[in-house]
Amino acid sequence: MTAQCEATAKRAAGVRMNLFERYLTLWVLLCIIAGIGLGHFFSGVFQAIGALEVAKVNLPVAVLIWLMIIPMLLKVDFRALGQVRQHWKGVGVTLFVNWAVKPFSMALLAWLFIYGLFSEWLPADQHDAYVAGLIILAAAPCTAMVFVWSNLSDGEPNFTLTQVALNDVIMIFAFAPIVGLLLGLAAITVPWDTLFLSVVLYIVFPVVFAHFWRRRVLGRGGDAALQRLLGILQPLSLLALLVTLVLLFGFQGEQIIAQPLIIALLAVPILIQVYFNSGLAYLLNRAVGSAHSVAAPSALIGASNFFELAVAAAISLFGFSSGAALATVVGVLVEVPVMLSVVKIVNRSKGWYERGLKRQDDAS
């Protein structure tokens, strides 16, 4: 491992939830209230913002998404990719769950609940959009908050760094095909040009830009300079997320007021897929003999969603006022409390997990 990669790993091990992260659900609820109120009284302003588009890309949203994503990607050291072999079992399990199970299990749950069990309680003209939003939400694994979850579960920081870096590289090539495939299977029209443009704008550009910016900062001032930069950008990133949520709920307000159960109903498949995928990753790691310090973050990475990317892609593909955009925002709403519950489960089951590893060792 390079010295820089090791330093990054040590920082990741010390990550704590700040005030915003710990109470993310509260801030989202406040954004719902603010967005609905502002959208009702200043609808003309919101419509004007929604009309600021070039090639189906909303310019204010593009800037806000970059402000959200780039600071997160600045924390990722792609040199960690050289450590894939060190934890190959855990990496293999996580990749399987992230890319071969999670998007498809979410698609199945979305079809089951949106088109089936909940269809009578949801607006019929938004069924396809809700399914699309849930698929987009599950199509990319989380990049930033996983460092927090890994730390809270005493995860191996080098494994977490490696997994995040590898997922970011795979996301560049796999996000669009997976989303396109699953939307096509649901008979939802796929605007491929807009989908690929979203990948370029919200994955390729931020990853490349953040990588070279990180290298430049480290080359000039070392780790201290990078930490100072992150200290400046982090508040802007959080503010950008809040503003984006206010804009989304400003467009969605009337629909939510008319059918307040929508958010609760959309949360059901999200909750099920989080617990299913985290449990699957956890059990598979136990089966292949991964250490608990690898299995815990693997379960959390396997279940988490890159909601910033999902929100951006949903807006680009279907618009601010679409059910797809609303579905991705519900993912933001439930992210922290649900993932904290998964952290508690893997921590409390550590003894059970390690007894299983001991039995495997004794049997061999």
Whole-number CA gyration radius for the chain: 20
145: phi then psi, degrees, rounded to nearest 5 = -65, -20
Q: Which CATH architecture has domain 3-359?
A: Up-down Bundle (1.20)
For the segment 89-106, the average pLDDT, to the nearest whole number, is: 93
Say what the pLDDT of residue 102 is: 94
What's at 220, amino acid-wise?
Answer: R
Question: For residue 364, is pLDDT > 70?
Answer: no
- Band the pLDDT of 144: cuts 50, 70, 90: low
Whether 237 contacts 67, CB under 8 Å: yes
Q: State pLDDT tens for residues 269-302.
A: 999 999 999 999 999 999 998 999 899 999 998 8
Q: State pLDDT tens for residues 160-203.
A: 878 887 888 888 888 889 988 998 877 777 677 777 877 787 77
Beta bridge partners of residue 53, listed in sequence order: 58
- The ranges assigned to domains in the chain are 3-359
Say what the pLDDT of residue 4 is: 39
For the segment 335-341, the average pLDDT, to the nearest whole number, is: 81
DSSP category for residue 304: -
- Show the CA angle centred on residue 249, arms to residues 248 and 253, nearest 5°: 135
Closest C-alpha among 202, 191, 206 to residue 317: 191
Whether 203 contacts 172, CB under 8 Å: yes
Q: Classify strands 57-58 and 53-54 as parallel, antiparallel or unpaired.
A: antiparallel
The residue behind tokens 């001991």 is 358
Largest CA distance in the chain: 70
Stretch among 33-42, 113-122, 129-138 having the lowest mean pLDDT: 33-42
Closest C-alpha among 147, 206, 213 to residue 175: 206
